[in-house]
A and B are shown apart, each in its own frame.
Chain A
Amino acid sequence: MTEKTFEEAMEELESKVESLSAGHLPLADALRTYEEGVALVRLCTARLEEAELRVSRLSGD
């Protein structure tokens, strides 16, 4: 979970929101999806707060 990039987490989060919105999930799955979604929200927020632009330079030839 900690290895997930922000982008992956964000995409996963949005897909969880979608599947939860679509209904049809059994209750246990819905609850699990929700919990995972909340964890992803936390992860994404944390990533945003920690983020710092990393700049590197490609050397010429």
Chain B
Amino acid sequence: MQSLLSSPGVRDAFSVSELVQALRSVVGGHPALTDVLVRGEIGSVSRPPSGLAYFTLKDAAAQVPCVMFRTSLAAIRFEIRGGIEVVVRGDVDVFPAKGQTQLVVREMSPIGRGAFWLAFEQVRDRLAAEGLFASERKRALPQFPRRIGIVTSEAGAALQDVLAVLGKRYPLAEVLVSPCLVQGDAASVSITCALDRLAGRVDVAILARGGGSVEDLWAFNDEGVARAIARFPAPIVSAVGHEVDVTIADFVADVRAPTPSAAAVTVTPEISELRGRIGVAQTVLDGRIRERIAAWRERVASLRTRIDPEAAVSRVRDARQRFDGVTASLEREWGRFLRGLRDRLGAIAARLEAVSPLGTISRGFAIVTGEDGGLVGSITAVSPGDEITVHVSDGALEAVVEERRRTAR
């Protein structure tokens, strides 16, 4: 066997590049390996900043490295993620830098669910995980919007529908139309810009588009649009397509309306309702002020009765009566007191009378006094011939003692 290192061996050896080039010339452009359809499950995915996508496509027994360039990637709406069953169209080639056979994928389509649905789900799940659909993020619509923004196509019927409803229901508002494309590849960026332009200029905004196919409405499922809605400083009412069409924009919007006209109704109070409210306010004002005045009148009336002159007179009369009563009883007591004194005086006088010698005389007895004025109480106090005085009730008798006679016992 000839040694590998013999001079013809080294001379005839391929360089690596030559080998890979040879391989490439066999594989690349081979009819069986060009524009092939391959089905399989996406395995690991790598998305370097260059914008390419590297991933593997596999089945139970084998796998093949794949690459997808930017232009092809732009056409698929969903995110390439492990586990998705896809069918791809592409060409087999050799990647020289790695000497690796790979499938250059030009088209990719999910198997089973449609690509749109898959993309929709992916965006929805991602934004939901971030909390962009959370009910606590929903903002209340202003009661009386002063400036209403409309983001829609200038050419669409949706704009006319919205303007017609606003004009009829709430002509007090000022409307700012921020026009945008609503379909096609540029639509999502256009919508995002239109929203951002309107930011800070309105109290509420309507994002509207008339009905269309899923592809037509696609821009409203765009993540960028969803984020523009989320960061919009005022509440947004979405009305995209018909009632059955639900887009990501609807999930992020503060309120979802089934149609553009319905959105216009949602953001405005009805003018006749307002007239009604003004009428009610007027009625209540009238009623209340009348009640208040009546209440005050009543109070005044009640105060007046309290300061009534007649009432005052009668109060004086009452007082006088009470005074008279007191006076009368005072007099009565005084009289009783005097009578008592008088009675006591009479009693004493009577007793005095009883013990007075004059009293004795008044009953027919006499008192005898001697010449010296002393009482003659015994026959021995005088002698015959003595002058005595006999006191009787109305005077005195001058007498002379003739005889003394002792009373027999």
Question: Which residues from chain A sit less than 8 Å from chain B, CB to CB?
Answer: 5-7, 10-11, 13-14, 16-17, 20-21, 23, 25, 27, 30-31, 34, 37-38, 40-41, 44-45, 47-48, 51-58, 60-61
Q: Does B198 contact A (CB under 8 A)?
A: yes
**Which residues of chain A are near B198, meaning CB under 8 Å?**
58
A56: B residues at CB distance < 8 A: 174-177
- In the complex, A44→B282 CA distance in Å? 11
Q: Within the complex, what minimum Cβ distance (angstroms) separates A55 from chain B? A: 4
Judging by beta carbons under 8 Å apart, are B274 and A48 in contact? yes
CA distance A14 to B143 in the complex (A): 13
Please, how many angstroms separate the alpha-carbon atoms of A32 and B127 in the complex?
54
**B-chain residues with CB within 8 Å of residue A45 when the two chains form the complex:** 275, 278
**Residues on the B chain within 8 Å of A60, using CB:** 179-180, 193-194, 197
B146 in contact (CB, < 8 A): yes
Say yes or no for B167: interface residue by CB 8 A criterion: yes
Contact of B285 among A34, A47, A52, A53 (CB under 8 A): A34
Whether B177 pairs with A20 at a CB distance below 8 angstroms is no
A54 touches B174 (CB 8 A): yes
Rounded to whole angstroms, the CA-CA distance of A20 and B291 in the bound complex is: 10
> A48's contact among B154, B173, B179, B275, by CB below 8 Å, is which?
B275
Q: Which residues of B contact A58 (CB under 8 A)?
A: 176-179, 194, 197-198, 201
| Cβ-closest chain A residue relative to B289 | A34
State A14–B265 Cα separation when bound (angstroms).
23
Question: B365 at interface (Cβ–Cβ under 8 A)?
Answer: no
Distance to closest chain A CB from B162 (angstroms): 10
Cross-chain contact B146 with A5 (CB below 8 angstroms): yes
Q: Smallest distance from the beta carbon of B151 to chain A beta carbons, Å?
A: 9
26 A-B pairs whose Cβ atoms sit less than 8 Å apart in the complex: A5-B146, A7-B144, A7-B146, A10-B277, A10-B278, A13-B278, A14-B281, A17-B281, A30-B292, A37-B282, A40-B281, A41-B278, A41-B281, A41-B285, A44-B274, A45-B275, A48-B274, A53-B170, A53-B171, A53-B173, A53-B174, A56-B175, A56-B176, A57-B154, A57-B178, A60-B179
Q: Mark B277-303, 1 if CB is under 8 A from A, else 0.
A: 110011011001100110010000000
Indicate the size class of the contact surface on chain B.
Answer: 35 or more
Give the contacting residue for B171; candidates A17, A37, A51; CB below 8 A: A51
CB of B292 within 8 A of CB of A37, answer no
- Indicate the member of A6, A34, A55 with the most B CB atoms within 10 Å: A55
Which residues does chain A contribute within 8 Å of B271, judged by CB atoms? 48, 51
Instruction: Indicate if the CB atoms of A31 and B289 lie closer than 8 Å.
Output: yes
Give B contacts to A, CB under 8 Å.
143-144, 146, 154, 163, 166-167, 170-180, 193-194, 197-198, 201, 271, 274-275, 277-278, 281-282, 284-285, 288-289, 292-293, 296
A16 to B289, CA, bound (A): 11
Option from B172, B292, B293 in Cβ contact (under 8 Å) with A47? B172
Chain A residues near B179: list those with CB within 8 A.
57-58, 60
User: Across the interface, do A20 and B174 meet the contact criterion of CB distance under 8 Å?
Assistant: no
Counting chain A CB atoms within 10 Å of each CB, the highest count among B146, B170, B271, B274 belongs to B274
- State whether A53 touches B292 (Cβ < 8 A): no
A55 and B275 contacting across the interface, CB-CB below 8 Å: no
Q: When A37-B281, A45-B278, A48-B274 are in contact, do A55 and B177 touch as well, CB less than 8 Å?
A: yes
| B-side contacts of A6, CB under 8 Å | 144, 172
> How far, in angstroms, from A51 to B275 measured CA to CA in the complex?
13
Residues of A within 8 A of B171 (CB): 51-53
Q: List 6 other contacts, CB 8 Å, given A30-B289, A56-B177.
A: A7-B146, A27-B296, A41-B282, A53-B166, A53-B170, A58-B194
Given the complex of chains A and B, what is the CA–CA distance between A27 and B144 in angstroms?
32
